[in-house]
Amino acid sequence: MSAVGFALAGFVIITAIATAMLRDTLAAIIVFAAYSLGMALFYTLLLAPDVGLTEAAIGAGVTTILLLVTIAKTTRPRAEKVFTAINCPAATLSVGLVAVLLFTVGSIPVENFLGEATPVTGAAGTPGESVTGHYLQSTYEQTGVTNAVTAVLAAYRGFDTFGEAVVVFAAGVAVVVVLHRGEFL
């Protein structure tokens, strides 16, 4: 992994821990927004820009706005403590899950994980070559759509694309409902 990847992973871990440990709700929301933005950048660094854009829009954007509007509509109790005490069983479980995740990610070859030698997916000699060739050769016969990208999104990944559209629509409706109940609209 590159130095940028390690720095971003460190930032994401620190903001995740800070979000869980902060007692001040407003501070936790702001740190959570930073965490979500860091995850969006991390997804983009992992060559998944569609997931990164969704995380940025929903996680850093809509969720943060909804949480801030909720805070604005409720009272904020003052607490002397900034951070809460650590729940040892929950922390142990979290560390275990992170260890399993790191073990799983650690089994991915380094040269294929954010390295300079990362090949273009579907390029000659890569495992995705046959899959890419299949879609490019048989897209029109199977779907009747001339554009391969549109065919993959609309036909092959139709349910996934539909689910993403439903999530974005539901988030938009939630924002309108929350803003309509207050003085914001």
How far is Cα 51 from Cα 58, in angstroms, rounded to an integer? 10
- What's the 3-state SS for 39-91? HHHHHHHCCCHHHHHHHHHHHHHHHHHHHHHHHHHCCCCCCCCCECCCCHHHH
Say if residues 161 and 46 touch (Cβ distance below 8 Å): no
pLDDT at 182: 58
pLDDT at 113: 47
pLDDT at 181: 64
pLDDT at 36: 92
pLDDT at 35: 93
* 96-153: pLDDT as tens digits: 888 887 777 666 555 544 555 545 555 566 666 677 777 778 888 888 888 877 787 7
pLDDT at 34: 93
Say if residues 42 and 114 touch (Cβ distance below 8 Å): no
Those residues whose C-beta lies under 8 Å from the C-beta of residue 115, and which sit 6 or more positions away, are: 1, 2
What the block records as the tokens of 65 is 């706005």
pTM of the model: 0.53
* 46-99: pLDDT as tens digits: 777 778 888 888 888 888 888 888 777 776 556 666 566 777 887 888 888 888
16 phi, psi to nearest 5 deg = -65, -45
Count the Cβ atoms, other than its own, within 10 Å of residue 38: 23
How far is Cα 80 from Cα 23, in angstroms, rounded to an integer? 9
- Would you say residue 43 has pLDDT above 50? yes
Burial group, residue 15, by CB count within 10 angstroms (0-12, 13-18, 19+): buried
